[in-house]
C-alpha cells in the first residue's frame, strides 16, 4: 500500500542561502499549507540556531529532514576528508533537530567536472567516504540518502542505477537512494522501471515538475511513477521541491529565468493536492 509522508523543501518559500529567520518562515509556511514534513537545507558552514529551529518545529508540530549538497571544497573525488568532516557535522545537526534522515548531493559538488566519466579510483573514494559516514550515522540512527542529479550539474552520479550499484558495494546498510523527478526526466528512460528496480533501497523522493512548476502540468509521467510507488509499497517521504521566482533570491540559483506562473503558496498547495490525489488514486 502507498502510504507516503508528504513533505516540502524549504526552497518552496525561501532562497537556498541559509538564514535562521528564513528557515523559521519556511517551517511555518509548510505547516500552514498542511505538509507533514519540512526539508531543511543545511549550509556548508553548519551555522544554524538549533534551539530556535527545533522550538519552531515543535510549536508547528511538523516533522523534519535535513538536506546537504556538498560544495566544491568538499567534492568527494578530490577532497574526501573534508567531505567526511562536513557530512559528520551535518549528521550531528540532523540528530539535534530530531531528523532521522540526511540526504542530497552527497557524491560530489554541483557544477564541478573533471572533463571525463567517473573513474574506478573516484568510485573507490565514494565507497570509502560513504562507509565512513554511514557507520557514523548508524550510531545516531540516521539514514543517509544519495541523490543522483543530471549530467549538466554533475558527472559523479547521474542515475539511480549508478547509485544502486555503489550501494551494493557498501559495508553499511543505512545508505539508500534518493530520487528526484526533475533529474529523472533528463537521465532515466522512464519513471516506472527505476522505481521498481530501486524497491526497498528507495527511501526518499523529491517531487517536482519538468519545469520546476506545478505538479501535473509538465512532462513528468506521474501515472507511471505512482503506479510504481504503489507496487513497491512506498511508505517514505514524498517531498515537494518546486520553485517560483516570485520568491526573492531563488531565480539565479535554480535557473528560473522566465516569470513563474504561480506564487509560492499557490504552487505548494496545488502540488500537495496533486500528490494526495495521485496517492489516493493508486491505493
Q: What is the pLDDT of residue 248?
A: 86
For position 27, what pLDDT does the model report?
98
pLDDT of residue 251: 84
Q: How many domains does the chain have?
A: 1
Over pLDDT 70: what percentage of the chain? 100
Rounded mean pLDDT of 108-124?
A: 97
Out of 137-141, 210-214, 244-248, 260-264, which region has the weakest mean confidence (pLDDT)? 244-248
Over the chain, what is the mean pLDDT?
97
Pairing state between β 101-104 and 63-67: parallel
Q: Write out the three cell numbers for 214.
A: 506545478
CATH of the domain at 188: 3.20.20.150
Per-residue confidence band for 246, with pLDDT thresholds at 50, 70 and 90: confident
Q: What's the rounded Cα separation, in Å, for the pair 111 and 187?
A: 16
Q: Which three cell numbers stand for residue 26?
A: 519556511
Instruction: Look up residue 153 and give its DSSP letter.
Output: T
Which positions ≥6 away from 121 have C-beta within 8 Å? none
* pLDDT level of residue 205 (50, 70, 90 thresholds): very high
**Range of the structural domain that residue 100 is part of:** 5-281
The stretch 10-30 carries a mean pLDDT of 96
The dihedral formed by the CA atoms of 105, 112, 87 and 187, expressed in degrees to the nearest 10: 20
pLDDT of 213 > 90? The answer is yes
- Look-up: residue for cell 549538466? 152
Amino acid at each position: 500500500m502507498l502510504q507516503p509522508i508528504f513533505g516540502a523543501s524549504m526552497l518552496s518559500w525561501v532562497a537556498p542561502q541559509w538564514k535562521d529567520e528564513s528557515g523559521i518562515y519556511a517551517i511555518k509556511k509548510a505547516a500552514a499549507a498542511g505538509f507533514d514534513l519540512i526539508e531543511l537545507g543545511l549550509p556548508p558552514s553548519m551555522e544554524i540556531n538549533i534551539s530556535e529551529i527545533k522550538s519552531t518545529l515543535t510549536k508547528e508540530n511538523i516533522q523534519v529532514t535535513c538536506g546537504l549538497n556538498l560544495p566544491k571544497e568538499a567534492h568527494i573525488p578530490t577532497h574526501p576528508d573534508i567531505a567526511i568532516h562536513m557530512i559528520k557535522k551535518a549528521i550531528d545537526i540532523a540528530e539535534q533537530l530530531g531528523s532521522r534522515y540526511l540526504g542530497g548531493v552527497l557524491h560530489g559538488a554541483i557544477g564541478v567536472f573533471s572533463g571525463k566519466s567517473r573513474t574506478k579510483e573516484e568510485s573507490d573514494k565514494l565507497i570509502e567516504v560513504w562507509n565512513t559516514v554511514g557507520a557514523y550515522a548508524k550510531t545516531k540512527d540516521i539514514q543517509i540518502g544519495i541523490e543522483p542529479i543530471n549530467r549538466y550539474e554533475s558527472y559523479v552520479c547521474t542515475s539511480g542505477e549508478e547509485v544502486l550499484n555503489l550501494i551494493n558495494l557498501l559495508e553499511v546498510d543505512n545508505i539508500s537512494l534518493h530520487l528526484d523527478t526533475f533529474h529523472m526526466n533528463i537521465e532515466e528512460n522512464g519513471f516506472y522501471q527505476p522505481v521498481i528496480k530501486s524497491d526497498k533501497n528507495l527511501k526518499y523522493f523529491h517531487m517536482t515538475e519538468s519545469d520546476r512548476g506545478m505538479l501535473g502540468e509538465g512532462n513528468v509521467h506521474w501515472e507511471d511513477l505512482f503506479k510504481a510507488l504503489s507496487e513497491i509499497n512506498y511508505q517514505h517521504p514524498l517531498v515537494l521541491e518546486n520553485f517560483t521566482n516570485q520568491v526573492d533570491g531563488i531565480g539565479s540559483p535554480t535557473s528560473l529565468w522566465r516569470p513563474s506562473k504561480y506564487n509560492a503558496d499557490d504552487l505548494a498547495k496545488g502540488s500537495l493536492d496533486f500528490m494526495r490525489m495521485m496517492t489516493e488514486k493508486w491505493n
